Amino acid sequence: MQKKRDTFVDSALYSLPLQSEVNAVLHLLHAQPGAVRTGLDVGFTNAGVSRTLRLVGGCWMTVEPTQQRRSLVAAALGQETVLSLGKDGELPFEDKQFDAVVLAHGVLSDNFHAGAIVKECHRVLKTGGIFLLTVAYRKPLGLAAVLSGRRMAFGAAESYTESDIFHLLKDGFDVLGFRFSCRFWVQMVRQWDSRRRGSGIRGTNTIWLRILYRIAWLMDLPLFWTRGHQMTVYSRRKGWRSKHVSVLGKHTPVSDAILFNPRREGSQLSLDKFK
């Protein structure tokens, strides 16, 4: 148990939203019944995160979407090779190479690009491998979203609802659970920090910002029952089968109705375990 605690993110090194994002990923990786022998992480916004994931064990590879990101992460990892994501989302690996793939928020820039990257992640995963995806959670009527003018936080490309995720992953994955973080007050600090970064103001990762995040986290404790603005998706690879959407009634696709069925044994067990 001590080893698992030691692999969680040091609060002195990362902002609170990034701590929450990576800790959710680590929690789900540790919860797997078997060890992760080969893993791949794609597109995290902090160079040290890839190094943290390696503490889980196994052999890990890293892919970054830009040459600048590739250089930063390569410097953090020392002698390890960091590879580049292709222009259309291609991953530079042969089929079925990894037990786990972790895709960070900020990589899914639009629906077409998102679909291509997800399909590539499926291709390089072994049968039954796990796919962890971190994204911004869309709450169009949420007060924090309204007050921030629905601007995306720094590093995030698109926001998704649970329904969007089921639709995005329906062809090749079973979605087994969600973990949420960044509730109201933490999200407000996150948006404020994003505006500072966008204005080119330096010194955003200071001790004062960490203190501000900690105060916001304490203020969010009574809101534990709400869903935050950051979502980590836990899914498992199955055979790829493109689904043609049929419609039940006026609005609900048949595929979504099946995927949301709470009586499916695997989904129910996983949702109970990872809430």
**pLDDT tens digits, residue range 67-104?**
888 888 888 888 788 998 888 889 999 999 999 999 98
Provide φ and ψ at 108, rounded to 5°. -85, 95
Residue 9 has pLDDT above 70, yes or no: no
**Which residues partner with 180 through β-bridges?**
231
Helix axes 16-30, 184-198, angle to 10 degrees: 120
User: Is CATH 3.30.460.10 what the domain over 2-274 is classified as, yes or no?
Assistant: no
Supply the pLDDT for residue 99.
Answer: 96
Residue 112 has pLDDT above 60, yes or no: no
**pLDDT tens digits, residue range 11-45?**
444 678 888 889 999 999 998 888 899 999 998 87
**pLDDT tens digits, residue range 119-137?**
999 999 999 999 999 998 8
Supply the pLDDT for residue 222.
Answer: 92
Cα-Cα-Cα-Cα torsion 201, 207, 213, 215, nearest 10 degrees, comes to -130
Supply the pLDDT for residue 202.
Answer: 54
Residue 255 has pLDDT above 50, yes or no: no
Where helices occur in 62-183 by DSSP H, the ranges are: 67-77, 111-124, 143-147, 162-169
Supply the pLDDT for residue 247.
Answer: 46
DSSP string, 148-160: TTTPPPTT---EE
Show the CA angle centred on residue 24, arms to residues 75 and 96, nearest 5°: 70
Distance CA 8, CA 29 (A): 11
% of the chain residues with pLDDT over 90? 32
Provide φ and ψ at 59, rounded to 5°. -100, 120
Residue 258 has pLDDT above 80, yes or no: no
Distance CA 143, CA 167 (A): 26
**pLDDT tens digits, residue range 56-67?**
889 999 999 888
Query: Where is pLDDT greater, at 209 or 39?
Result: 39
pTM to 2 decimal places: 0.76
Q: Left (φ > 0), alpha (ψ -120 to 50) or beta: where does 102 sit?
A: beta
Secondary structure letter of residue 65 according to DSSP: S
Query: Where is pLDDT greater, at 61 or 247?
Result: 61
Give how far Cα 153 sits from Cα of 119, 126, 127, 200, Å. 26, 33, 34, 15
Supply the pLDDT for residue 265.
Answer: 39
Contacts of 218 (CB under 8 A, 6+ apart): none
